[in-house]
Structure 1
């Protein structure tokens, strides 16, 4: 197809006239240009900035530009667009631009004898065409990965699209050090370094996301988000109470400066179909109001008999430049996920061996049903006082309505009998209604004092979680076997279970509130050395009230509320980064995290919080002009004050053991990662984790593995190669995940490790139409996923071989 852009570029940019080019050169402009033809990108920058550019059209013929996103001078935007093109930008004394071939291998912008120094780095990955992130925002402000003295991974928009990752659990299982497992429910459990991550961040605002009266029901689409940022290791400075394993920050898509529309259709195995519209662009002539709209429909059957799912998702966002230095962002997302799930999977034999059944085996009833509606409202305001100082406030409000009824097949004892007997049908109806609110504000500033470059960050955040929950259940012994499951038992309801012998209901409410003040100070006493000191003071209030209503009773008997509160909990942070050269840096860090407990001692007092200390040293690299990120880390986390049974006191607490704060566990290991364009046209992500977890002090489990579902070895690899020359329309992807064995819940049997290969073939049919075929589990590996595997249930097969064909249409404007 003939592309007229290169032949008309010079004429187009010559029409862009600005009264003072020198003034435009000094001004920071906002750019949001997706990756595309170099000629188009240069033309857009020239048009927006009013500069005149001179070049030979043949120089840019057929060349591609990376995304140019963020606030920067026009000259810097031009230089970014020219990255990797073999061309360089020159600026005349009059402020005019010219593009010339590189003659000495140096693509540094020439401006007399002065180089333009990059003053701002945008962390957006959409349109970058890269697996390497330039920066992250998870630590407040914007920093490169090399500047953060902890392990950080970013899954970019391109990697998610290439691998076809639309669900947070699936993305976690392709990320260094993370494990995403099926919980006891429709949702997921995320862990890092052996510890659950139950508070998730949205645009840097943390909220509780996996707190339920029963089971695990948290689900999360990724279609609304630009990237997933993962910090491993204790994250108490950022969110107070939280996981010792780390933090996850989901950064949403924003309105765009250039009109962009993408329509994607997909069809795959098990009648899996989907259609998505993603459109954005300026809503006024000056581009000070920008919008984004995403609509997604997805429906699928399953390799498991009777299972199906349907998800309807909508997202709308508006960004307003109230002034040149102030931006307001508003957005709302809604996901309605309806399904017939299999809850608690398959049981195992009493000796721990897996059952020999087809992967299509379904243990539920035909009336199993789950409906999860999640609506989230986002708001943020950023004010930039100047190049060095900025204030930002962000808020998130999420409402979740979660209703389910399901038949679960479990064993009446410890595992199945040899003939498959010993099963029990458990009927559950749940109705959970929760509201999560989060608020975060911070001030970040850079300055020079005492001949030292310094940066300070001061902030505070607040979160509130309230719920109105209820669930009812019965347990029914049966003479059926695993090989003769009854899928047509009578349908159940909440009221029906209360009129069934053995039925019982539990209404309950959560009220969890947390607030904190935090701050950090970065200082460079000498040029290659950066010291980071920080601290947080947290306040935490927890209340859980519940009641029990027996069958044929109209009265619910309230139980004693479970409460705890912590006041003025102090969390320190310290780090050091030493730049070996422009590309490499070594670092070390120490941080604490605390987790409140609700268990009580014989005196009736609540146990003091679990306290943990995280130590980490490592090496980070930003190679090939930032196109490749690498890291190597050694870590240890020691946690103490864990609640253990106070056996010596007898059954002194409501007929059971009281507790003492004497438990201690340790997680330690090594992580290594590389991401980015390691060779021309080859994008690579590879992450290896060696992690051991162990009880150091415990009256029952001392010396045993602490986290059963954390493999000792994990390796995640994915690569994508874009051919050149006559094959330039073709791209291929190949990767695998492999991990060593894990343990079942009872720690008496192993869940074997596995290796699963995936691949992709892409073809650009026209400049507007991209075709792709993704194949997962290429060699049809038959395996059980690692997770909450128990003798009496919760064992799930991994997905068999499956394919997904997609067509993406992106019209040009």
Structure 2
């Protein structure tokens, strides 16, 4: 869809012809979208725009995704990467979740959790879109549209805020018109402070500039740069012993402060050239490259029951000590031609594209692991810490032995075509397909073995949209997907690619002159060659066979009379395994019907914001509630995380012209909640009540 990067969200009802008339040289067309109003797309799409992110004072992508009920949190490697599931499917638990940035695959690698600075909006592209997107999860893909240089304008914002736990953050965004056709947008942030976890402090900063160059009236060149750093101790969370979530306080850190910080870095480049041949045809060429690293030491609870003294005396937590040195390189080149033509009375809107994706992931890790434990095993041998009275630094750091040294290289080339045909004024059909050629090489540098797997596959897509009347349209879609699984199992067997089939149907609403829009959808997804973490071989995965997810979703947002903004998102998701798998080391047994980890059946987010004047100054006040149902906390066992309900309030008021006072309180009633889990020994507690106050200046 063609749109200005300054737009808070995609207009749900604007006809495509009107959208084209609104394009100026500042506009940047988004990849994979074509020239469609949302009601014409046979797919559920939800947008979390800049205004919603700013009003809620959200700082991390993970928190922004909480606003959409189709997304659920997953294991984040001790808070060091983004991991989420869309419609119940999450991908490989041993890698961060992938997402798109301006249509380019860009979320892979080891860069720490993504900050929302520099993000214009978050698009949740749900359902069977594999014929175009190619390598995403069948539940959907997340596309981050970044703040890009707007040609010919000069404006900016700067903010300073203070948050609970002595955290200070500053952020700036300046769009500077250097000439009529050349503009630089400079975005940066820095954050430092304590957390609610004992001894755990964090530092983050980033520089995210964008350069825009207009080459004549019909061509635009855009360059985006990313330079970020995260420093935070590795933190696996708390222990839940025998189902007691009060085993330790949620603030208790069970690692070692002397391990220091894990440091995650990212350096990225993205270059895009857009050329409009006419008001009907346009070409988008682009390339991106991103380097990431993650390194440091950590002390974390031992998950193997036979090595865990806690199960003998109820208070001595045996731990591993580990070092990590991870790095990745990710390069993408892509081209897309979008246009429209007529054959007789039929109108065709087509996308034709190709891309090349190269991902190189190096993982080097060493560890100390204690012996099989008995009552006589010393705390030093098990590198144990007392849950009830932790004394950090009690045992000398044990020597480490290298146990993981692997280089995974994935190369994928794909071509795709999509045609949406208007059969009548009310009826449209979409057909498309994508062919991927996939190569994976796994170099196990520990034993000098090389694994290799090459596959190719065609993924079809089809959809239909019927406009019942002006506010309502019906749609249905089918798609198949294909995604390469990275790596090999502990025995060195290279994984087969993951395949999927998806079907959904729904109704879309747009009323009040487009100010209120929503989607009600039902879906079913199936995929094969699913991976899960190998609990006895840290850093490795096992194939668990097939999985299925099905459910119902409702997304509604808009502006009601009385200047009230509303947002409602609800999802019922039933996600389960469909295969019986016995782990080769007898670590766990997965039965058909077992729920997928960290996926709640019920998820709800609702909020309302009232805009008004306070004296003569503009102001707003809002409140929201999030409910997350109980969910599996460990693959193949009965361990469950409890449900939780979190309330939040937020508001802002203009103090003087160009200066705004804002504030928020999250987890208003200080509920004890749990964000995600890998096992009862690795449970991530959620933040307690957290307040923020700040000032934001604009020019």
Q: TM-score, length-normalised on structure 2?
A: 0.87
Q: Deviations over 1:598-638 (max 9, x none)?
A: 8999xx99775443210100011222222222000000112
- Equivalent position of 2:386 in the other structure: 481
| Change over 3 Å in CA distance of 1:457–1:491 after alignment to 2 | farther
Return the alpha-carbon distance in structure 2 between the equivalents of residues 209 and 178 of structure 1: 18
Larger Rg: 1
What secondary structure does 1:170 align onto? Answer: helix
* Contact in 2 for aligned 1:667/1:693 (Cα 8 Å): yes
Q: Deviations over 1:552-591 (max 9, x none)?
A: xxxxx33x33322112x10000000111122221000000
* Contact in 2 for aligned 1:461/1:515 (Cα 8 Å): yes
- Equivalent position of 2:627 in the other structure: 738
- Equivalent position of 2:256 in the other structure: 365
User: Runs of at least 4 residues of structure 1 off by over 6 A?
Assistant: 30-34, 67-70, 121-124, 598-601, 604-607
Return the alpha-carbon distance in structure 1 between the equivalents of residues 256 and 16 of structure 2: 66
Return the alpha-carbon distance in structure 2 between the equivalents of residues 116 and 716 of structure 1: 31
Return the alpha-carbon distance in structure 2 between the equivalents of residues 192 and 753 of structure 1: 19
Residue among 625, 629, 640 paired with 1:750:
640
Residue among 344, 365, 379 paired with 1:450:
344
Residue among 675, 683, 686 paired with 2:565:
683
| Change over 3 Å in CA distance of 1:611–1:506 after alignment to 2 | closer
Residue among 341, 346, 359 paired with 2:238:
346
What secondary structure does 1:196 align onto? Answer: coil
| Change over 3 Å in CA distance of 1:613–1:116 after alignment to 2 | closer
Residue among 211, 223, 228 paired with 1:318:
211
Note the residue ranges of structure 2 that are not aligned, 5 or more in a row.
92-96, 371-381, 533-540, 582-588
Return the alpha-carbon distance in structure 2 between the equivalents of residues 391 and 301 of structure 1: 48
- Equivalent position of 1:620 in the other structure: 508
Residue among 198, 206, 218 paired with 1:305:
198
- Equivalent position of 2:188 in the other structure: 295
Q: Offset at 1:239?
A: 3.2
Q: Offset at 1:641?
A: 5.5
Matched length: 659
User: Is 2:452 aligned against 1:542?
Assistant: no
User: Is 2:294 aligned against 1:402?
Assistant: yes
* Contact in 2 for aligned 1:683/1:720 (Cα 8 Å): yes
User: Is 2:475 aligned against 1:587?
Assistant: yes
Return the alpha-carbon distance in structure 1 between the equivalents of residues 394 and 37 of structure 2: 57
Of structures 1 and 2, the one with the larger relative CO (CA 8 A, separation 6+) is: 2
| Change over 3 Å in CA distance of 1:392–1:136 after alignment to 2 | closer
Q: Offset at 1:135?
A: 12
| Change over 3 Å in CA distance of 1:484–1:768 after alignment to 2 | same
For residues 168-567 of structure 1, the aligned pairs below 5 Å read 168-185=61-78, 186-196=80-90, 198-207=97-106, 209=108, 218-256=112-150, 257-284=152-179, 287-342=180-235, 344-349=236-241, 351-367=242-258, 368-410=260-302, 413=305, 416-417=310-311, 420-476=314-370, 477-478=382-383, 480-489=385-394, 497-498=399-400, 503-548=401-446, 557-558=447-448, 560-567=449-456
| Change over 3 Å in CA distance of 1:468–1:410 after alignment to 2 | closer
| Change over 3 Å in CA distance of 1:296–1:483 after alignment to 2 | same
What secondary structure does 1:788 align onto? Answer: strand
Residue among 53, 57, 65 paired with 1:164:
57
Return the alpha-carbon distance in structure 2 between the equivalents of residues 631 and 359 of structure 1: 38
* Contact in 2 for aligned 1:208/1:436 (Cα 8 Å): no
Residue among 12, 15, 20 paired with 1:120:
20
Return the alpha-carbon distance in structure 2 between the equivalents of residues 538 and 33 of structure 1: 30
Residue among 581, 585, 595 paired with 1:706:
595
| Change over 3 Å in CA distance of 1:208–1:169 after alignment to 2 | closer
Return the alpha-carbon distance in structure 1 between the equivalents of residues 232 and 176 of structure 2: 34
Aligned-pair Cα RMSD in Å: 3.3
